[in-house]
């Protein structure tokens, strides 16, 4: 091993052979040991002392991370290693590593890191085994972003020291974990990759060890050292962890796995690009992407925004997939449709930038000088290339908190600060009430919002409301057709509502920018996700009338011969979007509804088609149609996995049932029982403490968002009244009489 200085690293970024590069993420369930493991890789490269490796958690550089003992933000490090190949040749390898969070709250960080990665080191705690977030991370890495996996089973010391298991039982538990990981991989990768992406002890794509004690091995390493696994048990019985660290160093096992099994950028992009880029693969840009060609057209993506907790300065981190990015380049943001300039270019080393004048394809980079949302594609100004597909996120915003500045003069500044943090984490969202000047932030769970609010409060002093569980509203059948008129009687609109099928809802959740697509291409795409057996009229021709989308709702214009419709189009869309954010029942967001406008009348005089006239007319039509379509309230549901000794199964199942949980399965796994259930998010407030109490601290649990489900009938009315009051509305749900005066009746 040789520690590289800054000039050598800079030269390697620009000139090193692509075959000797690896870009990968370390990914796992919370507290399974990612950051502790990363310490040993940093120590190997000379960035920290070997004595503090495993304790310092150097990649958790943020004060909040150190205080909470969890990873919140993905940290990027660039490391160089020397490795002796099988033929005796010694090569320098350049590693670009993402240490990612493990908590559900920060899965967006994981998704974005994996978009820029070629491989993933999946960590699993030997005691806890496969948890919900482990499954989620394998889904994200392998299924969504096509990152080839290797497996590190960590904390084997706990099986030996805490559980006092004999070697046979330890090996059995390890085999179960490997089998579970492979079953998940097999279920989500294409058939042609299933065999080569399977992780096994035999091909050394599985390592076992202890990050806390600093040792690990693969089968190959044991053979080289002429050791057997029993040697580990002997050294623990002698309390000789130092021998393990010196003779079976963790970093050696991981480095070997990464070099032997994870692809270089050129290999990876052959199969990754067709999955994340939908342009013409036969075009010059497509060929450059497939070949990771530094001489081709420039195309890259911003995968992370790092906001320095001390200076609050933004650094954009991303990957160059084709071409070469120069510090003098003028860039075009493809989705944002704006031109920007780079002020500083380089690569990230935890919290610092190492300046590099150019970044060829197959590298991560860091840049300053502009800001845009994470997930933005870019090219060189003057180049016309299709951008990358949106990054998939596995969770939805289901918790909100209202915030407002302590000083009224800080309203505008607060908006700027919130906007910056939401750009950094698009899994959260926000909006401002123009009347109260109050901002509402929605996020995956209370912890995510708490972290965001902490950051925002450091820049603008704010008042904060308690967390609120965000519900959804939808319809269960087609609505009646209503024609409504504007208050002045000179304009009319006719609407009808339809429930969208799950296939369309899932597609809209992907967040594609439909407004920028070609009309025919968009129509074909939408029709392909529609239930044409039930609604044969919703074909490609119908969807050419697409006007707008809002979350998982669609507005389609299907009128004939209406004049001056363009004049009121923006008023109609804006009013409709406001309705989808606060629907009639409880003022909660609407999901899965198609609005069809079948007729309209627009007055010849613009003085009679102002915002208030059109807004009132459209709002009345939306509300009236909605109330006749059997509207209902949905609540967010979580999958929860609890692992505990068998004597606590009864206590856990009883506890989940008390919280309106549904037990889905109970499986015995390696001496523990895994209880999987489904329960409402609103029932999880004190659940962590209750599980610890019910299992004497021996139960481990994790959860992930599953879906929205209809609130049980016996709770529905009470829940609606509660949410309406919380949202500042009158307790009683409006009736059709509220808008009856706007119904147009032909005479």
Assign 669 a pLDDT band (cuts: 50, 70, 90). low
Is 0.85 surpassed by the pTM of this model?
Answer: no
3-state secondary structure of 554: strand
Give all strands (DSSP E) within 308-362, no chain letters: 314-322, 324-326, 330-333, 338-341, 344-349, 352-355, 358-360
Question: How does residue 106 score in pLDDT terms, banded at 50, 70 and 90?
Answer: low
How buried is 477 (Cβ within 10 angstroms: 0-12 exposed, 13-18 middle, 19+ buried)? exposed
Query: Which pLDDT score is estimated for 737?
Result: 96
Q: Are 299 and 286 in contact (CB under 8 A)?
A: no
Handedness of CA 153, 158, 163, 169 (dihedral sign): positive
pLDDT for 210 equals 93
- Residue partners of 624: CB distance under 8 A and separation at least 6: 480, 482, 484, 736, 739, 743
Token digits for 1? 């091993």
Mean pLDDT of 146-161: 94
Q: What confidence tier does 571 reach under pLDDT thresholds 50, 70, 90?
A: very high
State yes or no: pLDDT of 602 exceeds 90: yes
Q: For 608, phi and psi rounded to 5 degrees?
A: -100, 5
What are the Cα distances from residue 150, in Å, to 197, 277, 290, 452, 480? 8, 25, 23, 32, 55
CA dihedral defined by 624, 625, 626, 627, rounded to 10 degrees? Answer: 50
CA distance 736 to 717: 18
Run of H or E including 598: strand 593-601
CB-CB contact of 470 with 601 (8 Å): no
Structure tokens at 77: 């490090």
Lowest mean pLDDT among 107-116, 299-308, 478-487: 107-116
Pair 88, 98: CB distance under 8 Å: no
**Domains in the chain, ordered, with CATH?**
6-263 (3.40.50.300), 269-380 (2.40.30.10), 399-470 (3.30.70.870), 474-627 (3.30.230.10), 633-711 (3.30.70.240)
Please tell me the predicted confidence (pLDDT) of residue 32: 67
Q: Which has the higher per-residue pLDDT, 309 or 181? A: 181
Average predicted confidence (pLDDT) for the chain:
88
Bridge partner residues of 378 (DSSP): 300, 333
End-to-end CA distance of the chain: 89
Give the pair of three-digit tokens for residue 554: 């669609």
pLDDT > 90? residue 4: no
For every residue of 368-434, DSSP letters joined together read ES----TT-EEEETT-----PPPPP-S----EEEEEEESSGGGHHHHHHHHHHHHHH-TTSEEEEET
Cα dihedral sign for 55, 57, 62, 67? negative
Under a CB-based contact definition with an 8 Å cutoff, are residues 341 and 294 in contact? no
Q: Reduced to 3 states, what is the DSSP secondary structure of residue 182? A: helix
Question: Buried b vs exposed e over 100-116: b needs ≥16 C-beta within 10 Å?
Answer: bbbbbbbbbbbbbbbbb
Structure tokens at 626: 């909605």
Is 45:97 a contact under the CB 8 Å cutoff?
no
- Find, among 23, 21, 28, 53, the residue nearest to 38 by Cα: 53
Side by side, which strands form the sheet with 363-368?
A: 338-341, 330-333, 377-380, 299-307, 314-322, 363-368, 344-349, 352-355
C-alpha span between 501 and 532 (Å, rounded): 10
Q: Is the pLDDT of residue 60 over 50?
A: no
* Structure-block tokens of residue 362: 């197959």
pLDDT surpasses 80 at 16: yes
Q: Report the relative pairing of strands 314-322 and 352-355 from DSSP bridges.
A: unpaired
Do residues 616 and 579 lie in contact, with contact meaning Cβ atoms separated by under 8 Å?
Answer: no
Task: Yes or no: say if 354 and 367 are a contact pair by the CB < 8 Å rule.
Answer: no
- What residues pair up with 324 in beta bridges, in sequence order? 360
Instruction: Give pLDDT tens digits for 521-563.
Output: 999 999 999 988 888 999 999 999 999 999 999 999 999 999 9
Alpha-carbon distance of 726 to 724, in angstroms, equals 5
| pLDDT > 70 fraction of the chain, expressed in percent and rounded | 92
| Residue among 43, 31, 154, 37 at smallest CA distance from 101 | 31
Q: For 119-130, how does the pLDDT look when each residue is reduced to its tens digit (9 = 90+)?
A: 999 999 998 888
How far apart (Å, rounded) are the C-alpha atoms in residues 612 and 575?
10
Q: Select from 732, 679, 718, 717 the least CA-distant residue to 701.
A: 679
Average of pLDDT values for 46-52? 45
* Alpha helical stretches, state H, 210-357: 219-225, 230-237, 241-247, 250-261, 265-276, 284-290
Distance (Å, rounded) from C-alpha 590 to C-alpha 473?
Answer: 5
Q: What are phi and psi of 731, to 5 degrees?
A: -65, -35
Q: What tens digit of pLDDT does each residue of 228-237 get?
A: 999 999 999 9
Give Cα separations from 628 to 309, 358, 478, 498, 538 (angstroms). Answer: 51, 60, 8, 11, 21
Sign for the CA dihedral angle at 692, 696, 697, 700 comes to: negative
Q: Is the pLDDT of residue 55 over 50?
A: no
pLDDT at 62: 45
**Choice among 284-293, 334-343, 594-603 with the minimum mean pLDDT:** 334-343
Q: What is the rounded CA–CA span in Å between residue 427 and residue 406?
A: 26
**Per-residue pLDDT averaged across 173-196, rounded?**
92
Q: Look at strands 553-557 and 593-601 and give their pairing.
A: parallel
User: According to the model, what pLDDT value does residue 168 have?
Assistant: 92
Residue 705's pLDDT band (cuts 50, 70, 90) = confident
Q: How confident is the model at residue 685 (pLDDT cuts 50, 70, 90)?
A: confident
Q: Are 272 and 145 in contact (CB under 8 A)?
A: yes
Residue 9 pLDDT: 84
Residue 350 has what pLDDT?
A: 66
**Res. 52 pLDDT band, cuts 50 70 90:** very low
pLDDT 10s digits, 368-396: 999 999 899 999 998 889 999 888 776 77
Q: Which helix (H) or strand (E) holds 148?
A: strand 148-154
Q: What is the pLDDT of residues 434-470, one digit of tens each?
A: 777 788 998 887 777 888 898 899 999 999 988 888 8
> For 675-691, what is the mean pLDDT?
86
- Per-position DSSP letters for 505-529, written without gaps between them: HHHHHT---GGGS-HHHHHHHHHHT
Q: What angle do CA 470, 476, 477 make, to 5 degrees?
A: 145
């Amino acid at each position: 091993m040789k520690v590289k200085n800054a000039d050598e690293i800079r030269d390697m970024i620009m000139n090193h052979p692509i075959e000797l590069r690896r870009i990968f993420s370390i990914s796992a369930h919370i507290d399974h040991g990612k950051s502790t493991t990363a310490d040993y890789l940093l120590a190997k490269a000379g960035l920290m002392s070997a004595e503090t490796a495993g304790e310092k958690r150097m990649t958790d550089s943020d004060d909040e991370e150190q205080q909470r003992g969890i990873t919140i933000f993905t940290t990027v490090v660039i490391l160089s290693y020397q490795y002796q190949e099988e033929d005796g040749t010694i090569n320098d390898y350049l590693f670009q590593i993402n240490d990612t969070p493990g908590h559900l709250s920060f899965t967006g960080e994981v998704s974005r890191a994996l978009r820029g990665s070629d491989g993933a080191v999946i960590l699993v705690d030997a005691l806890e085994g496969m948890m919900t977030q482990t499954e989620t991370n394998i889904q994200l890495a392998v299924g969504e972003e096509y990152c080839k996996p290797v497996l590190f089973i960590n904390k084997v010391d706990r099986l030996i020291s805490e559980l006092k298991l004999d070697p046979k039982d330890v090996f059995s538990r390890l085999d179960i974990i490997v089998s579970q990981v492979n079953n998940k991989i097999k279920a989500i990768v294409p058939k042609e990759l299933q065999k080569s992406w399977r992780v096994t002890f035999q091909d050394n794509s599985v390592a076992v060890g202890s990050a806390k004690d600093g040792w690990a091995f693969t089968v190959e390493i044991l053979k080289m050292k002429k050791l057997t696994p029993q040697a580990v048990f002997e050294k623990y019985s002698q309390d000789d962890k130092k021998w393990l660290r010196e003779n079976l160093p963790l970093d050696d096992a991981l480095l070997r796995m990464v070099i032997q099994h994870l692809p270089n950028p050129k290999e990876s992009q052959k199969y990754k690009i067709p999955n994340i880029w939908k342009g013409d693969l036969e075009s010059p840009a497509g060929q450059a992407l497939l070949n990771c060609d530094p001489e081709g057209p420039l195309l890259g993506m911003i995968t992370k925004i790092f906001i320095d907790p001390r200076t609050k300065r933004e650094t954009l981190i991303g990957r160059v997939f084709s071409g070469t990015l120069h510090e003098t380049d003028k860039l075009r943001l493809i989705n944002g449709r704006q031109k920007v300039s780079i002020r500083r270019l380089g690569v990230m080393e935890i919290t610092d930038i190492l300046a590099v004048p150019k970044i060829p394809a197959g590298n991560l980079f860091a840049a300053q000088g502009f800001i845009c949302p994470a997930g933005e594609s870019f090219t060189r100004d003057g180049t016309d290339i299709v951008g990358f597909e949106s990054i998939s996120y596995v969770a939805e915003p289901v918790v909100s908190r209202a915030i407002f500045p302590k000083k009224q003069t800080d309203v505008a500044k607060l908006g700027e600060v919130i906007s910056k943090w939401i750009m950094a984490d698009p899994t959260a969202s926000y909006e401002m009430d123009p009347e109260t000047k109050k901002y509402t932030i929605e996020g995956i769970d209370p912890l995510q919002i708490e972290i965001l609010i902490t950051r925002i409060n450091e820049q603008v002093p704010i008042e904060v409301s308690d967390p609120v569980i965000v519900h959804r509203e939808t319809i269960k059948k087609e609505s009646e057709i209503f024609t409504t008129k504007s208050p002045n009687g000179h304009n009319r609109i006719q609407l009808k509502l339809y429930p969208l099928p799950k296939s369309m809802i899932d597609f809209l959740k992907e967040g594609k920018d439909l407004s920028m697509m070609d009309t025919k291409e968009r129509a074909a795409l939408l029709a392909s996700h529609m239930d044409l057996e039930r609604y044969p009229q919703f074909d490609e021709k119908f969807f050419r009338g697409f006007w707008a989308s809002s979350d998982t709702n669609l507005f389609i214009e299907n009128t004939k011969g209406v004049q001056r419709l363009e004049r009121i189009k923006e008023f109609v869309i804006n009013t409709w979007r406001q309705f989808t954010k606060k629907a009639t029942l409880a003022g909660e967001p609407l999901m899965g509804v198609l609005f069809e406008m079948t007729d309209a009348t627009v007055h010849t005089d613009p003085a009679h088609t102002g915002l208030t006239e059109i807004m009132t007319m459209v709002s009345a039509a939306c509300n009236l149609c909605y109330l006749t379509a059997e509207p209902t309230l949905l609540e967010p549901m979580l999958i929860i996995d609890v692992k505990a000794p068998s004597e606590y199964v009864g206590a856990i199942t009883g506890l989940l049932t008390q919280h309106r949980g549904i037990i889905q399965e109970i499986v015995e796994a390696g001496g523990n029982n895994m209880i999987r259930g489904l329960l409402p998010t609103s029932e999880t407030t004190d659940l962590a403490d209750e599980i610890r109490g019910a299992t004497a601290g021996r139960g481990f649990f994790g959860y992930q968002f599953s879906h929205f489900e209809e609130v049980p009938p016996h709770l529905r009315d009470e829940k609606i009244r509660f949410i309406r009051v919380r949202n500042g509305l009158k307790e009683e749900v409006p009736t059709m009489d509220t808008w009856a005066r706007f119904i147009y009746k032909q005479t």
